[in-house]
Structure 1
Amino acid sequence: MSETMHVRGTVQPNAPHELWSKRNQQTTQRPPSGAHVRCEFVHRPLVDDILVTSWRRMDDRHFSVTARWPHEHGYFAPHRGRHSLILTGETIRQAGLLLSHTELGVPVGHHFILGDLVYTTHPEELDAEDGPTPLTIDIALSDLRIRAGTMTSGRFDMTMHTAGRFVATGHSHVTVTSPAVYRRIRGERLTARRSLGPLPPSVPPRLTGSASEHDVLLSPTDRPDRFLLRIAPGHASVVNPANDHVPGMVLVDAAQQAAHALTAPDRFLPYAFGTTFRRYAEHGTPCVIEARRLPSALSGTTTVQVIGVQNGEPVFMSTLTALDERA
């Protein structure tokens, strides 16, 4: 994400609920806390793709959100008896969007620019049960910037629990733009759309940790540590055909697949995942995905860094850390 995408905030109110007193004067109604989570609140077109289920205000800066990880789903389902690490990131994303729209005055239709997405899990809690996994998420807000009663940027820190057990902790930082500002940012790229032409060949699914070729986001090159991004048809839950750029969650999943491929045939099950987004990943331009091992700060772990590049410019950088199986 480039710096030109930031929108400067102005005076921060004493409490987020003040946003609603201003917006209510404009006849905008605040959804009741815990109301039905609509698709537009989490930017997903299908009800089956919604992971967060309710929310509750605890005080001016703290909220409680419930979520449910599905046991059966075309994209979010467990693989080999284990919930995907991507599911943690998508839950953080959805919870932040939900609160932004319902508690922080952001109108549906505004655009969110994800600055980073960082989380650490307890690997044993990613084992899938026989049914959906219920979650409680404690959320703290910080670094809020407000303009005209609407959040323009903020940080969401989250802690996830299930049945009293700690599952994960993480955070994301987002910037919000109005449709008019977004049109200026994107310019002629606003009308760009994903090509529906034939897909390039895929890296073998067994190398990327994917269930099938339908889910592989990488195409091979002449180097085992370098790939090209391919938008697989199995990712309909995170690829909206109306998007004018490649969604951030697709890049996150591609990074995980690249780390798997680099470390194959070893079994790479990361417990920590951090991604920083530099700029939009554009349609119609090759996106090179490069992976390399880094020295691990902790013994008994393997760390991989994945970088996405378009036209020689960095798009994102991810760092993944996994426990060594022999550790």
Structure 2
Amino acid sequence: MSISTLPVRTTFTNTAPCSLGFDQTVPRQLVHRAGVTEVFLTDGVQIQGESRSVRIAAQWPRHHALYQPDAQRFSDPMLLVETLRQAAIYTAHRFHGVPQHHRFIFCDLDFRIEEPALLRIGGAPLRVVFDGRFSPEDGRTDTRLAARFDAAVEVDGRRCGQGSVRLLAVGERLYTALRRRRNASFGAPVQPVPRTLLPASEVGQARPENVLLSRGTTPGTYAMHLDTSHPGYFEHACDHVPGMALIEAFRQAGHQLLRHSARSDTHVMTACAVSFDAFGELDAPVTIHADEGPKEARSGERLVRVSAAQGERTLARATSVYLPHRTAASR
């Protein structure tokens, strides 16, 4: 991925034998989901003698209201992102003693899909294993834990890619102090504003109700549509703009930008690195800015840089890599 400036993580393989189940989901409270149908993890074990090493099992559905396969039958890459999020939270709770009432703040996240063809939908749900390492940082207290979770990703027994996330788990009092320190307004949630949303086909979505963007006033600029009643983006009550919604908005912006610059080509996002800089408030509009980087001639990869802002404040920044579907299918 020569055009990419994404972080390169050191990956590893846990060789210790262990068995994982795929027959039922883990408790939803351990992954901070309100609905059982939104839980993708099915099991997890800590490697004996290695307190930081875990193997986490998950099952990806063939069809989901939010994470749907595209027209070429590739699984939504956001499934990998959401599973990475769940795996990090689950590991913190189950194996590192983080209380269930703690709040999780994600500082950065990145992933790479190295074998996109493994994400093609077949006749059964995909079995996924995260071969992970949870590394707490110094300075842990009863109310605060900072850590990084790195994982190699296997799909149906074959290496598919990797992901990493840095998180901060804090108690309620500390969380409230952090929110106030960031000048949180705690105003009334934004109500959906009537506007012409982009067509679902332009942003890599199958359903129009999942579109997050409308066209902005200048090329590469978009207004983010925040509907706090959406059952996917606001799966449970949230006092700020969800990080997963921001990442999806970034993905959609990249699809729309490339759809016009690449003309006949359609693309799939194969890598992304996101940094979260500030809490996004629900009572102020969010603007998405996207611009395209150089094309990698040999592989056809396209680089897109995206950011989200409220006024002069940057909420998050991302660098994403997209690959033409015809190339992804042959890898």
The TM-score normalised by the length of structure 1 is 0.83
Does structure 2 conserve the Cα–Cα contact (< 8 Å) formed by 1:138 and 1:160? yes
Contact 2:186–2:281 (8 Å) recurs in 1: no
Aligned to 1:286: 285
Structure 2 counterpart of 1:46, one-letter code: G
Please state how far the C-alpha of 1:149 moved relative to its aligned partner: 5.4
Aligned mates of 2:75, 2:229 — CA distance in 1: 17
Q: Distance in 2 between matches of 1:247 and 1:102?
A: 23
SS in 2 for 1:87: helix
CA deviation vs aligned residue, 1:220-244 (integer Å, no higher than 9, x gap): 1222310011025895233145211
Q: Which amino acid aligns with 2:284?
A: T
Q: Secondary structure at the match of 1:319?
A: strand
- Rounded to whole Å, the distance in 2 between the matches of 1:323 and 1:36 is 32
Amino acid at match of 2:28: C
* Residues 191 and 228 in structure 2, CA contact (< 8 A), matched pair in contact too: no
Where 2:111 maps in the other structure, the secondary structure is strand
Q: Tell me the equivalent position of 1:66.
A: 57
Q: Which amino acid aligns with 1:74?
A: A
- Cα separation, 2, equivalents of 1:116 and 1:315: 12
Please say if 1:323 is aligned against 2:328. no
Deviations along 1:18-69, one digit per CA (max 9) or x if unpaired, are xxxxxxxxxxxxxxx9896111111110000001111001021100110010
Percent of counterpart pairs with the same letter? Answer: 27
Shift of 1:309: 1.0
Q: Residues 313 and 190 (structure 1 numbering): CA distance in 2 closer, same or farther, change over 3 Å?
A: closer
For residue 103 of structure 2, what is the amino acid of its counterpart?
H
1:78 to 2:69 alignment = yes
CA distance in 2, matches of 1:324, 1:46: 34
**Partner residue of 2:270?**
271
Tell me if the contact between 1:66 and 1:137 (Cα under 8 Å) persists in the aligned partners: yes
How many residues in Structure 1 have an aligned counterpart in Structure 2? 295
Equivalent residue in structure 1 for 2:79, among 87, 91, 114: 87
Cα pair distance change 1:209/1:36, threshold 3 Å: closer
Q: Superposed, which structure 2 residues align to 1:291-310 within 5 Å?
A: 291-296=290-295, 299-300=298-299, 301-310=301-310
Contact 1:79-1:211 within 8 A present in 2 as well = yes
Q: 1:228 aligns with which of 217, 223, 228?
A: 223
Q: State how far apart, in whole Å, the 2-side matches of 1:324 and 1:36 are.
A: 34
CA distance in 1, matches of 2:326, 2:122: 25
TM-score relative to the length of structure 2: 0.82
Which stretch has the larger CA shift, 191-200 or 169-178? 191-200
Name the CA distance, whole Å, in 2 between partners of 1:77 and 1:133.
13
Describe the SS at the equivalent of 1:173: strand
Is 1:44–2:33 an aligned residue pair?
Answer: yes
Measured in 2, the distance between the counterparts of 1:110 and 1:190 equals: 22
Match of 1:239 among 234, 243, 246: 234
Distance 1:65 1:129, change over 3 A: same
220-229 vs 191-200, greater mean Cα deviation: 191-200
- The 2-side partners of 1:240 and 1:206 are apart by 24
In the TM superposition, what is the alpha-carbon distance from 1:77 to its structure 2 partner? 3.2
Matched, 1:103 2:95: yes
Amino acid at match of 2:270: Y
* Match of residue 214, structure 1, among 204, 209, 223: 209
Give the unaligned 5+ runs of structure 2.
Answer: 1-19
The amino acid of 1:119's aligned partner reads F
**Aligned-residue RMSD, C-alpha:** 2.4
- The SS at the match of 2:137 is strand
